[in-house]
Structure 1
Amino acid sequence: MVGTNLQRVARVDEIPETGSLVVTVNGTEIGIFRVGSELVAWRNVCPHFAAPVCKGTVAGTTLPSGVYQYEYGRDGEILQCPWHGWEFDLRTGEHLAVGSRARLRQYSVEIHGDDVYVAAR
């Protein structure tokens, strides 16, 4: 049974393997992403300058490493804002900069059959 505050936004097969499907729920743009085997949804607003963050690139990032070493990892788990390159963890919404409190606003996602639902606010 689907809860009353959920809105159907897509079919599962409409969510791209990389990148997002941006939908509108109650006038708010929300990006839905695949991260591994799960779906996550984030408000399409970067906390830095209100950029359409969900239209950014999904990639990986450089991992903590030694001086003059650049180790790439977490491919497909990082969202890069299209305006200023801020990086966010797609699983948690946290901004990757050390000490930053910025984060994306999350929406609950449910899958019922082949349909994707997002909790409306």
Structure 2
Amino acid sequence: MATFDQFIASIRTEFGEQGAGKKFEVFCKWFLENDPEWSKTVDKVWLWDDYHNKWQRQDLGTDLVFRDNEGLIWAVQAKCYGEHRTTTKGDMNSFLNDMGRTGVDRGLWIRLSAYLSSHCDDFLFPLTIL
């Protein structure tokens, strides 16, 4: 069985950086549905293209949406950046804009990189970072 790092490396090799991002979104959907902790919270998960109540046509910030067991809607951003890349406020802007929309109750930022720029700290609430 491959390790998680091997899995991520294989999708980057096979699909390139852009394509790997889409495959990572599919993995994140699976993870939210199957992880022993998150699956207790999650009722239904949609990839952005499959979400029935989109607030815009394109994926400009939100990659997935899920409804939790309390009926709250979570916008999810999934970033498949390299582990040494720093996530910047610019990377977060369009997703943070989605967080202010009617119909979005919570946000979840899933990222592979270990680093956040210092400017991101001011904008993380009310995001859950995984």
TM-score, length-normalised on structure 1? 0.33
In terms of fraction of residues, the more strand-rich structure is 1
Q: Which structure has the larger Rg over C-alpha atoms?
A: 1
TM-score scaled by length of structure 2: 0.32
Between 1 and 2, higher relative CO (CA 8 Å, sep ≥ 6) is seen in 1
